[in-house]
Amino acid sequence: MSKSYYIGVDVGTGSARAALVDTTGEILAESVYATTTYRDERNADIFEQSTSEIWQSICKACKDVLAEAKIPKEQVKGIGFDATCSLAVSDLKGEPMSVTADEWGVGDAKHNIILWADHRAVEEAATINASGSMVLKYVGGTMSLEMEIPKVLWLKKHMPQEYFRQSMFFDLPDFLTYLATGDLSRSNCSLACKCSYVPPGVEGSEGWNKEFFHKIGLGELAEDQFKQVGGIPGKTGLILTAGQPVGKGVSAKAAEQLGLAEGTPVGSGVIDAYAGWVGTVGADMPDLKGSEKPSLDESRHRLAAIAGTSTCHIVQSDKPVFVPGVWGPYLHAVFPGFWMNEGGQSSTGQLIDFMIDTHPAADRVKAIAKERKTNHFSILQEILETTLKTQRASFLTYLTKDYYLYPDLHGNRSPLADNQMKGILVGMKLDKTVTDLALRYFATLEAIALQTRQIMDEMNKNGHEITSIFMSGGLVKNPLLMQLLADICNVPIQLPFSHSASVVLGSAMLGRAAGDEFAADSSSIADQKTAEDRSHGMKDRLWGIMSEMSRPGSTVTPKAGEQEKRLLEVKYKIFKQLIDSQKLWRQEVSDALAN
């Protein structure tokens, strides 16, 4: 019998990646293409992308991995997609609909994605958060302007109504499965996590809350039975859990574009952070004594941290856990019957780059790195280690004992849920040296780790029992940050086998789940009852796939001595004081300017 292979597709903030994997989780080939984010020089809050460019990149990457691995398309038994939680807009025929002010209309050249990082919908988020709706209870009490409904409301206010009425609104992962299959079914992950959908059965919810949409000014969506955002389950829409087969698989048109066989099963997609959870938490921890393959129940003790441009912190539970300022709890986000909470930092990798690039010594460090044919992060680490010896200090955190950074330069996602928070840097001197840049860099890493602890502490205080962190994403490559996370959070940090492929591996697992279900029952899911009946079997199937295909890397354990622990506790105390001070200052300024 010929071997079976699966393709995972991951669309991050700056790239589209495809990976070809086998049943053991081995990555046979990878291909990645950069994608463009369009910024408006007049408005720093605007971040837009194009589904046409992203889809073209996906198609090229899929063909690349098949060619590199020399695998015939017939041996690909499933494909899965994940993407950022960004709002994709099309007309009723699936053609891109512009989201750019003054450039409204339909066409391939249009920017039709409002990226997750786009902060244009400040007023709309405030309107939603003043509604008092029960919907807010399931997003941590406060809806973020990064979510989809504030963006849809912004479009309602600014887009010509003839275009708004003929628009369909998708979380980006669902638009990709639509392009792949022509099927309009949506994923529970996208709808529950980002689209103000509370799954039926939760406090008497029917899914979409008509009263909420009328109250915030989007009543026309309710009057049209929510067809523009995916429809009512069992009536005008079909909603699937992660990995369930979408439609009849890859359409004839998409098969030609992707280089796959028509009918290749397509797994219902997830948001990229959730693909990182799928691709990592099923692994064992071989570096820890007594580690065994985990059960599904063990997943509730494992916090997945998907760390790239931003960072998401995801944990699953068998019961709803309400954490103020942390998104969720979301029912059926991945596994039917299980709940997810999602914390996050709006800027981490992006923050590190910004703090380096805005220092006077940045160009000098980058020039040294170029000379030595390495990267500037390695040079900064080398400078820190040299400084450690020069100062005869015992540990790196001693070097930044007088340097304090509060990291929310792009607002706070969790656990404050306050997009008005700003960054604070304490400890600046008249110093333009590379050593000062290295200290600023390390203080930035400290701040990211301190905020991770704050998020984890809030989760545990409210009912979670997190005992380890499972990493994925580009920041896994940063050994200084990984050790700081272990020391500051005081838990083991499990690294993935591949930093670049752990998220896309999660999507490949969804492709395999769809392929395995299709092999067991080749009939497509055409109605909501069938979807719900089959979802229970998918729970066992997907966890088995995760256990089989997850490949662990090394484990980073806490190693701080007693003195360093005391210093880190003080740093954590100061970190929280910076929050209190900023809130106080903001109120005092507001009072001074009040009429």
Residue 520 has pLDDT above 60, yes or no: yes
Q: Are residues 71 and 111 in the same domain?
A: yes
**How high is the pLDDT of residue 522?**
79
Between CA 487 and CA 483 the distance in angstroms is 6
Q: How many domains does the chain have?
A: 2
Q: Are residues 151 and 246 in the same domain?
A: yes
Is 25 within the bounds of a domain? yes
pLDDT tens-digit readout, 189-244: 999 999 999 999 899 998 999 999 999 999 999 999 999 999 999 999 999 999 99
Is 334 within the bounds of a domain? no
How far is C-alpha 321 from the geometric centre of its chain's CA atoms? 20
Q: Are residues 573 and 526 in the same domain?
A: no
Is 403 within the bounds of a domain? yes
Q: Are residues 511 and 580 in the same domain?
A: no
What residue type is assigned to position 149 of the chain?
Answer: I
pLDDT tens-digit readout, 304-358: 999 998 999 999 999 999 999 999 999 999 999 999 999 999 999 999 999 999 9
Between CA 207 and CA 198 the distance in angstroms is 5
Q: Are residues 163 and 237 in the same domain?
A: yes
Between CA 148 and CA 171 the distance in angstroms is 7
Q: Which domain holds residue 415?
A: 349-466+561-593
Alpha-helical runs (H) found in 91-171:
122-129, 148-158, 161-165
Per DSSP, 406 falls in state E
Is 274 within the bounds of a domain? no
Is 16 within the bounds of a domain? yes
Is 302 within the bounds of a domain? no
The least confident of 119-123, 467-471, 476-480, 549-553 is 549-553
Alpha-helical runs (H) found in 235-303:
252-258, 272-280
**How high is the pLDDT of residue 289?**
62
| Tokens, residue 552 | 């662990």
Is 69 within the bounds of a domain? yes
Mean pLDDT of the chain: 95
What residue type is assigned to position 383 of the chain?
Answer: I
Q: Are residues 422 and 543 in the same domain?
A: no
Q: Are residues 548 and 448 in the same domain?
A: no
Q: Are residues 53 and 164 in the same domain?
A: yes
Is 326 within the bounds of a domain? no
CATH number at residue 384: 1.20.58.2240
Residue 294 has pLDDT above 90, yes or no: no
What is the torsional sign of CA 86, 91, 96, 100?
negative
Asked if residue 51 lies in contact with residue 175, where contact means CB atoms within 8 angstroms, the answer is: yes
At 365 the three-state DSSP class reads helix
What predicted TM-score, i.e. pTM, was given to this entire model? Answer: 0.94
Count of alpha carbons within 13 angstroms of residue 530, beta-carbon side = 12
Q: Are residues 456 and 520 in the same domain?
A: no
- As separate numbers, helices (DSSP H) first and strands (DSSP E) second, the chain gives 18, 21
**How high is the pLDDT of residue 290?**
59
Between CA 429 and CA 302 the distance in angstroms is 40
Q: Are residues 442 and 511 in the same domain?
A: no
CATH number at residue 219: 3.30.420.40
**How high is the pLDDT of residue 41?**
84
Phi and psi, residue 197, nearest 5°: -105, 125
Q: Are residues 118 and 250 in the same domain?
A: yes
Q: Are residues 84 and 187 in the same domain?
A: yes
